[in-house]
Chains A and B, each alone.
Chain A
Amino acid sequence: MNVLFDNWDTYWEGFLGTLKLTGVSAALALVLGVLVAACRVSPVAPMRMFGAVWVNVLRNTPLTLLFFAVVLGLPRFGIVLPFFVFAVLALGCYTSAFICEAVRAGINTVPTGQGEAARSLGMTFGQTLGLIVLPQAFRSVIPPIGSTLIALAKNSAIAGSFSVVELLGTYRTLSELGFNIVWTFVWIAVGYLIITLSISAVFAYLEKHWEVAR
């Protein structure tokens, strides 16, 4: 218990760091993921190809390698940004591949007849997409996006080893100060459990809220 209260500030800073990193990366991943998913379902072949390459390459890249390339490689191009931005770029791009696949799978679960019916009623492409397809896809997309974001929160721990302030990185400060290493890790673990369990609770609520009897 003492380890937690004696170092409340360090822990709190790390906890907020992880939250911020997860939040900003999640926003980037959602935007990028939806855009790439749009490419993957578009009727334009080169865009589909771009989407496929983006997803397959990023899904099969070890995140540590991506961090390595972004944090240590980009400065060689003369692109120097704060470490936090680098970490967000790496995490966001990596996660966007998984978001894209979730969104694409969601769009594909909407039966073809739904779109055909909408168009035969005279709806435009925008109306079909916005009023018919996306609302139905949205529901089936919630659970996989939830688990992707939980994975994102867990993956953000890697950023601690690339000079970003976050929860796992606090162990360095504390072990230098000579605190009990086991308890240090217990409280770090509790912090991560709080974050991952909150995300899964939020998504369980969302799933229930948008649920419809079919």
Chain B
Amino acid sequence: MSTDGTALYDQPGPKALARHRLYGIAATLVLAGIVAWFVYKMFDTGQFTAEKWNAFTYAGIQELLLRGLGNTLRAFAWAAVLSLVFGAVFAAGRLSDHRLVRWVSTLVVEFFRAMPVLVMIFFIFIAMKVEPRIALIAGLTLYNGSVLAEVFRAGVHAVPRGQSEAAYALGMRKTQVMAHVLIPQGVRTMLPAIISQLVVALKDTSLGYLISYEEFLYAGKQIATNLDYSLPFIPVVIVIAPIYIGLCMLLSGLAKWLEQRGRRSRRTAA
């Protein structure tokens, strides 16, 4: 990073390099100290004792966790597909030639974007009295769908105007211009943003925990609050967090890769 130049500093000389190395060692020591303190605290409070980890050796507990993970992924899959559909419909609405359709879609999209997703989930869960799974998926769909509608709209607008002008000049109708010219080109630029939004949806499936949907975190809580296993909170976090974070990082990595690939291919094409 420092090699490709920044406005902040020049390429360091030998003296500066030595100084940086010194700072580096100091920073490493401080960080190692913090980690060591955490590890010490864990030993100190007996987080690595066998009884705290015993729970994970039971097949029932492992199944509970796997079922939770399955529910998380299922909710995510539904929410992802539905919000893509929702986004496509309302993006089309916002790009419509009819003023009324445009206004209604704008209102819907702006409202759901401004609302905390949890308020919607709670509203659907409590006021409309539906089961947790549906409430979670519906809430996630409304919020992420609205954000995706804006992403789609921005992606279509990002295609150079000459493209649609040329297509209209060839006598295409609006639907044809959209389907054959604007969307195929727009998708390439918006794909990273779409995937990043899906990461948000994946992260937010954990909100199901708050309305007692049996997803991954909820399964973790059931284990963590069990007196028989001497309340293994920290072990549960140690088991669950890497899986959650790993899943989200995989998706984020995909978004980043697509972005870099898109940038490179455009450069070679030009």
User: Is chain B a partner of chain A in the same complex?
Assistant: yes
Contact B207 A158 (CB under 8 A): yes
Contact A76 B7 (CB under 8 A): no
Which B residues are in CB contact (< 8 Å) with A73? 233-234, 237
A150 to chain B: closest residue by CB = B114
State how many angstroms separate the Cβ of A141 from the closest Cβ of chain B.
14
A-B pairs under 8 A by CB, number: 151
Contact A69 B245 (CB under 8 A): no
Between-chain CB contacts (< 8 Å), 11 pairs: A43-B9, A43-B20, A47-B23, A47-B27, A50-B27, A57-B245, A64-B206, A112-B5, A125-B9, A132-B7, A157-B116
Contact A63 B119 (CB under 8 A): no
Q: Which of A72, A128, A185, A192 has a CB less than 8 Å from the CB of B8? A: A128
Q: Is B217 an interface residue (CB 8 A)?
A: yes
Tell me the complex Cα distance, A179–B114, Å: 25
Contact B237 A107 (CB under 8 A): no
Q: What does the 1/0 interface line of A15-48 toward B look like (CB < 8 Å)?
A: 0000000000000000000000000010111111
Contact A168 B210 (CB under 8 A): no
Q: Is A173 an interface residue (CB 8 A)?
A: no
Q: Is B240 an interface residue (CB 8 A)?
A: yes
Q: Tally A residues with Cβ within 8 Å of B.
A: 58
Contact A64 B217 (CB under 8 A): yes
Q: A43-B9, A78-B45, A175-B126 are in contact. Are A65 and B206 (CB under 8 A)?
A: yes
* Interface set, chain B 19-34, CB cutoff 8 A to A: 20, 23-25, 27-28, 31
Q: A133-B8, A168-B118 are in contact. Are A64 and B126 (CB under 8 A)?
A: no
Tell me the complex Cα distance, A61–B10, Å: 35
Q: A60-B199, A133-B8 are in contact. Are A69 and B116 (CB under 8 A)?
A: no
Contact A168 B119 (CB under 8 A): yes
The 10 closest A-B pairs by CB, nearest first: A115-B7, A60-B248, A62-B206, A154-B116, A64-B206, A62-B203, A157-B116, A157-B118, A110-B7, A181-B127
Interface size on B, as a range, is 35 or more
Which A residues are in CB contact (< 8 Å) with B199? 60
Tell me the complex Cα distance, A73–B231, Å: 10
Q: A77-B41, A189-B119 are in contact. Are A41 and B241 (CB under 8 A)?
A: no
Q: Is B122 an interface residue (CB 8 A)?
A: yes
Tell me the complex Cα distance, A64–B127, Å: 22
Q: Is A111 an interface residue (CB 8 A)?
A: yes
Known: A43-B12, A47-B23, A158-B118. 5 other contacts (CB 8 A): A41-B1, A73-B237, A77-B41, A181-B126, A193-B114
